[in-house]
Amino acid sequence: MADTEEDDDGGKGKSKKTMIVTLAVVAVLSLVAGGGGWMLGGILAPQVAEPEETAEAASHEEDAKKEGEDEEAKPRENLLQLEPITTNLSYPSENWIRVELSLVFEGDPDIEMADVIQQDIMAYLRTVSLQQIEGPRGFQYLRQDLGERVRLRSKGRVSDILMRTFVIE
């Protein structure tokens, strides 16, 4: 009977030692995993700018924004906005297109020429089908065609067109 009591005490001591070793191993592995995660996060995460650099960049952005507002406040002297053009497409004829454009002139804007250009654009849009202007590539082709027609009609006095709105219904 004495042997069994000694075995029980020895077993308890052994299980306590095993439990302490297990907890120590878990703690060490947790520290290693946490350190590895911290290092990997530092490598993969985007670098954050120092507060001084951030404040400096923000002040530059504010200055640029103020300059942009000043430019927006005063209209460009060589820019002429046309009246909105609304017409139906050639196919399907029940679809309508509405376009608002601005012309960028080389020098002073010519209102008479702008009226002629607006009529030419309207006549061209009446010949366009919906399939020709579908998708981003179709829109780009339409923009290029309109730009080419405007440059030819103005004999080079209009350098570019700006599309403000483009709606198909």
The list of the chain residues with pLDDT below 70 reads 1-12, 46-75
pLDDT at residue number 38: 86
Q: Which domain holds residue 148?
A: 79-168
Same domain, 40 and 57: yes
Percentage of residues in the chain with pLDDT exceeding 70?
75
Same domain, 47 and 95: no
Q: What is the CATH number of the domain that holds 158?
A: 3.30.479.30
Same domain, 56 and 85: no
Q: Which residue has the tokens 């000694």?
A: 6
Burial (CB < 10 A; 0-12, 13-18, 19+), residue 89, is buried
Q: Last residue of a domain, which of 73, 95, 122?
A: 73
Same domain, 154 and 116: yes
pLDDT at residue number 151: 93
Query: What is the reported pTM?
Result: 0.55
Same domain, 124 and 54: no
Number of structural domains, the chain? 2
Q: Last residue of a domain, which of 73, 90, 108?
A: 73
pLDDT at residue number 1: 47
pLDDT at residue number 99: 96
pLDDT at residue number 166: 93
Same domain, 115 and 160: yes
pLDDT at residue number 73: 47
Same domain, 68 and 85: no
Q: Last residue of a domain, which of 73, 91, 112?
A: 73
Q: What are 72-94's pLDDT values in tens digits?
A: 545 678 899 999 999 999 999 89
